[in-house]
Amino acid sequence: MIDLRSDTITRPTEEMRRAMYEAEVGDDVYGEDPTVNRLQEKAAEVTGKEAALYVPSGTMGNQVSILTHTSPGTEVIMEANAHIYYYEAAAASALAGIQPRPLAGQKGVLPPELVEDAIRPDDVHLPPTSLICLENTHNRAGGRIVPLENMKAIHDLARRHNLPVHLDGARIFNASVASGIPVSDYAACTSSVQFCFSKGLGAPVGSIITGPSDFINEAKRWRKRLGGGMRQAGVIASACLVALETMVERLADDHASARLLADGLAGLKGLNFDPADVDTNIVIVKPLTMTPQRFNDELKKRGILASVMGPDMVRLTTSREVESKDLEKTVAAVKEILAL
Ligand code: TLP
């Protein structure tokens, strides 16, 4: 099978497996796992923040951040297609007791004026705004890079209103590699960042939150409350260190694969798709002559796995697990399906 469902399907490299076998470990709830500590230091450094906290997943990283920044009964501004809004099973409402304020972005990008207008004035009838969440790259917008200028403008207005900004940077390294802008420049427009090791970076488990030391200390308590305190986590953190050391630059290969796919799908009748929308490793197409589910089923019959992303979208995601011949085969299969 050619697996284009997600970059989460990437399996650890030989070097990661060796590092896992050899990892020095301790009890991380006591802060005594040297490998986790090294990973946290490195992640803090890469994002230009004071401290970091290793967590089991991107979802936990986002939710621990929301829990740490906010209190129940407040409102959190986010893009209407953000992962935090769309794919985290309403965790922010269920766990943090916040009210999400989804704003429609333009291909994942929130106009700063829209964000500023959504900040609540001080009025007893209204929920106080407590946080602004951004996502870069933006998954449901097709891996779009949110421009640094846009993040800066939102950060500036957030500061004027004394509000924190959290970045769901699950794929911030994709944005960085594709744009040539250091991760720390994006992170400088935020109060906290979550990024994932187990997507295109290929590690088997884990994400990380970075931010100021006092924020991370409080986040550690929330991680524990959620049952995310891990013990000899150096075994998995070691693979994340290898990911940071060896897998960042190669994300460019995934972007090149997505470009190959995008060029192959460009201009096909029966598909609503603009290849100019592809910035990184995600290609989202809208089939016009059949449902996304049927399109997906037809792909599967031809040995290709993709993801239905709602009532009109199918997502094809490139990763280290796919080769250029797989992409040629995918383009040929799509042409065949559209002719049905
Ligand atoms: N996204 C997954 C699915 O949940 C959709 C995927 O296959 O892309 N933020 C963003 C932007 C994400 O894309 C994801 C995962 C997460 C957070 C959550 O990460 P995990 O799966 O580690 O909880």
Q: Indicate the top mutation candidate among 7, 63, 144, 196 to test ligand 1's pocket, ranked by most ligand atoms within 8 A of CB.
A: 196
Structural domains of the chain, count: 2
d(CA 233, CA 60): 16
* Atom number of ligand 1 nearest to Cα 6: 7
Domain ends where: 246, 262, 286? 246
Q: Does 1 map to a domain?
A: no
pLDDT tens digit at each of 340 positions of the chain: 999 999 999 999 999 999 999 999 999 999 999 999 999 999 999 999 999 999 999 999 999 999 999 999 999 999 999 999 999 999 999 999 999 999 999 999 999 999 999 999 999 999 999 999 999 999 999 999 999 999 999 999 999 999 999 999 999 999 999 999 999 999 999 999 999 999 999 999 999 999 999 999 999 999 999 999 999 999 999 999 999 999 999 999 999 999 999 999 999 999 999 999 999 999 999 999 999 999 999 999 999 999 999 999 999 999 999 999 999 999 999 999 999 8
Q: Does 184 map to a domain?
A: yes
The two three-digit tokens of residue 2, written as one number: 């050619």
Closest to 48 (Cα-Cα) out of 216, 185, 241:
185
Percentages helix, strand, coil for the chain, rounded to the nearest 5?
45, 15, 40
Q: Which residue segment(s) compose the domain that 50 sits in?
A: 7-246
Domain ends where: 187, 216, 246? 246
User: Do both 143 and 258 map to the same domain?
Assistant: no
For residues 171, 174, 175, 177, the Cα torsion angle rounded to the nearest 10 degrees is 150
CATH number of the CATH domain containing 285: 3.90.1150.10
Q: Tell how far the Cα of 12 is from the centroid of ligand 1, in angstroms.
A: 18
**Residues having CB within 6 Å of any atom of ligand 1:** 6, 8, 57-59, 62, 83, 87, 135, 139, 168, 170, 196, 207
Q: Are 19 and 241 in contact (CB under 8 A)?
A: yes
Q: Tell how far the Cα of 83 is from the centroid of ligand 1, in angstroms.
A: 7
User: Do both 205 and 313 map to the same domain?
Assistant: no
Stated length of the chain: 340
Domain ends where: 204, 231, 246? 246
